[in-house]
Homo-oligomer: A and B are copies of this chain.
Amino acid sequence: MNKARAGSVDTFELTCLLWKRKATVQKRRDAFNTAREGIYEQRLRMGKAIFEDLQQHDHDIFIWITPRYNLINASPFGHQGVLFEPAIEHNGTEEQKTKWLSLARSGKILGTYCQTELGHGSFIRDLETTATFDGVTDEFVIDSPTASSAKFWPAGLGFSITHAVVMAQLIVGDKSLGPHLFIVQIRSLQDGTPRVGVKMGDIGYNEKDNGYAAFEHVRIPRTYMLMGHSTLKCDGTCTADYNRAKLSYSVMLLVRSKMPAIFAVQLAQAVTIATRYSVVREQGLGPDNSLDTETSVMSYKSQHFRTLTLVAKSYAMFFAGQDCKAQYVDLKARQNRGDHSTLASVHALCAGLKAYVTSEAADGAGEARKLCGGHGFMSISGLPDLIGVTAGGCTLEGENHVMWQQLGRYLLKQVDAIQAGQDADEQVRYLAPEGPSIPCSATDRRFLDTSVQLSIYRHRAQRLVSKAHWLVHSSRKPKSEAWNEHMMLIISASRAHIEYVVLQSFNAIINSPPAPFSPTLETVLERVRSFFALPTIINPRSTDALHFIESNTWGEAYLNTSQLDTIRFLVNELLEQLLPEAIALTDAWDFRMRAYANIMRWVEQMPINRGSVEGSWGRWVGPILNKEDRAKL
C-alpha cells in the first residue's frame, strides 16, 4: 500500500502547527523519553514521574495531559493541577493561596477535589455533605449524613492523596447558606492512613484509584473554608460577594474548556493506531476477490472511508478545542477586570463542545478498535484503554445530554434577545432570520468551497434553533413540559450549532494560521476540512444527518438526491487525494508510539504465561476430565 505512505506533507511542519512551537515539540519528546519506563509500569509510578518532572524542569506540559495523552485524571495525582490548585486559586483569599498553593506545588501535600456525591451529580444545590460551624472551637464539623452523601469518584481519593477541597453545605446556627468549599486533610502525611472520622477507599473504576469518602464529625479550622468570595467571621457573621455564583462556575469552566482539545487528541491517538494497522495489515483478495494475493486492508473503501473520516474529525475538533481554550482565557482576563459579559457565551460553548467532542471521541475510539479487527481487543494495541477513557469523557465533568441542554437554553434565550431587537452574542448572530428558506443551489465542485460548506451547516443550525424556539414558545403546555416534549429537537439544534462552530474554527485556522505554512500543507488541510464537512453529511453513521436534508419548503429537500450523490462523488475523490497523506496526518501528532510489530513476543512475556498452570488446572480443569479410559487415546 505504498500510496498511503507517499504523501506530500512535511510531518514536522504539521506537528509544529498542532503543538504550536518547536520548543514544545522538543520538550514533549524529551519528557516522554525520560518518563517512558515509569509510564509503562504503572499509573502511580507515572504520577510520581510527572510530578517530579514538573518540579525539576519547571514546566506545565503535563498539568492537563499525560505523556500518553490522557486527561491527567488517569494519574492518581491528576486532580491536583486541574482541580485542587485551581479551586484554591479561584476561590481562596490571597493568604490562603500563599499557604496552600505553595504546599501543593512543592509536593508537601497532594490534593484532590470532592464535589460529586454517590446520589448527586451536576445539581449541586442538592449536595448533602454539611460543614457546620462550631463557634466555641472556631471550627467546622464536616459530616456525610446519609449513604447517598458519600463523596464519590475523585481521582486519587482511593489511596493516593492527603488533602481535598470538599464542597459542603455551610451551616451556621440553624441556617443553611448553600454550598461552599473547604480544605480537609483526609490522610496522615506520615503513613497515608485515613484520618479518624473519614471512611474511604477505592470504588473499582477501571485501574485508577478513583475513590469515595464519607465524613463523620471531622473537624477543620474555620480558616480552612475558602473565603475568596464569601467570608465567615469567628462570630458567625457571613458576607458574600455579589458575584459568588458566577465566579464559582469558573473552575468547572476551566476544566470544560480544556477537555475538547484533549479528547480530540485521544481520538487522534486511536485513529493513529488504526491507520497504521490498516496500512500494514493484509487481508483477503480485494473487492469481489479480484486480486491474486492478500492486500492492505486500507485499500478496501469502507476501511479507507472510516479511517479518514476519523482523521479529519480529530483535526477539526482539535482546532475547535484550541479556540475554546482561547475563549476561556479571554473570559478569565475580562472577569479579572470585573467584566462577566462573555460568561454565558463561553459557558454555552464549553458545554456544547465538551459534549460534541467527547461523544465523537468515544464513538471514534470504538470505531478505531473495530478497524483493527481482533487485534484492537488486545491491551497491547492501546485501544481498550483509550475506549474506556473516551467513554468516561461523555459522563464526567457534566453529562453530555445535560451539556447539550445547557447550550440549548442559551441558544433559545439568544433568539429571545434577537426577537426583542437586542444584540445577540457574536457567535449566534447568524440566528437572526434571513428571509424564507430556499433549497441549496450548489452543484458540482462548488461543494468543495468553504462558503458552500459553511452555508449548509449554517442553514441546518439556523432552521433547527428557530424550530425549537418556535415550538417551545408556541406550545400551550407549561414551559417545562414543552421543553421536555421537544428535548430531542433542542439537543439536535445544539449539536447543529456546534458542528457549524467546529467548521468555522477549521476554516479560521486555514485563513489565519498561527504561523505561516506552505502551500502544500494548505492544500492538504483544505482537503481535510472538506473531508470533515462533506462526509459528516453523507456518512451512514453521522448523527442527525437527516437535518442536513430537511427544509421548511413543502415536499422539497434542502439537499436533493442528486446533490447528495455529487457530495458522495467528491468524498470518493478526496479519499483518493488524502490516501497518500494518511501516515503524515497521523504522524504529525507526534505520538512516537512504537510499532506493534511483535505481538507474539509481548504475549509470551506476560506473567500469566510464565507462571504455572497447575493451580487452575488441578482445581478446575482436571476434575472435569474422567481419569479412566485415558489409555484409549
Contacts and interface: CB of A to CB of B under 8 A. Distances in A.
Interface of A: 44-45, 47-48, 51-52, 76-77, 103, 106-110, 116, 118-123, 126, 147, 150, 152-153, 158-160, 162, 185, 189-193, 201-206, 212, 282-291, 294, 299-303, 305, 362, 366, 369-370, 373-374, 376-380, 384, 388, 391-392, 394-396, 399-402, 405, 409, 439, 478-481, 483-489, 491-492, 495, 538, 540-541, 543-546, 548-557, 560-562, 564, 568, 572, 599-600, 602-604, 606, 608-609, 613-614, 616-617, 620-626, 628-630, 632-633
Nearest to A576: B485
Nearest to A561: B550
Q: Could you say which of A119, A121, A285, A492 has the most chain B C-beta atoms within 10 Å of its C-beta?
A: A121
Contact of A488 (B283, B483, B540): B540
A550 B190 CA distance: 69
B366 A362 contact: yes
Copy number in this complex? Answer: 2
A147 B203 contact: no
B546 A620 contact: no
B546 A487 contact: no
A629 B108 contact: yes
A121 B373 contact: yes
A45 B287 contact: no
A614 B109 contact: no
A433 to B, nearest CB: 18
A113 to B, nearest CB: 15
30 contacts: A44-B616, A44-B621, A48-B620, A51-B624, A120-B283, A123-B285, A123-B294, A189-B630, A190-B630, A201-B609, A204-B606, A284-B402, A286-B484, A287-B405, A287-B481, A287-B487, A289-B480, A301-B487, A302-B488, A362-B366, A366-B391, A370-B400, A373-B395, A374-B396, A540-B546, A550-B564, A554-B560, A554-B561, A554-B562, A555-B560
Contact of A159 (B484, B557, B616): B616
Contacts of A395: 370, 373-374, 376-377
Contacts of A152: 374
Given A110-B621, A301-B484, A103 B201 contact: no
A206 B377 contact: yes
B287 A110 contact: no
Contacts of A362: 366
A608 B202 contact: yes
A296 to B, nearest CB: 13
A374 B613 contact: no
Contact of A288 (B201, B302, B483): B483
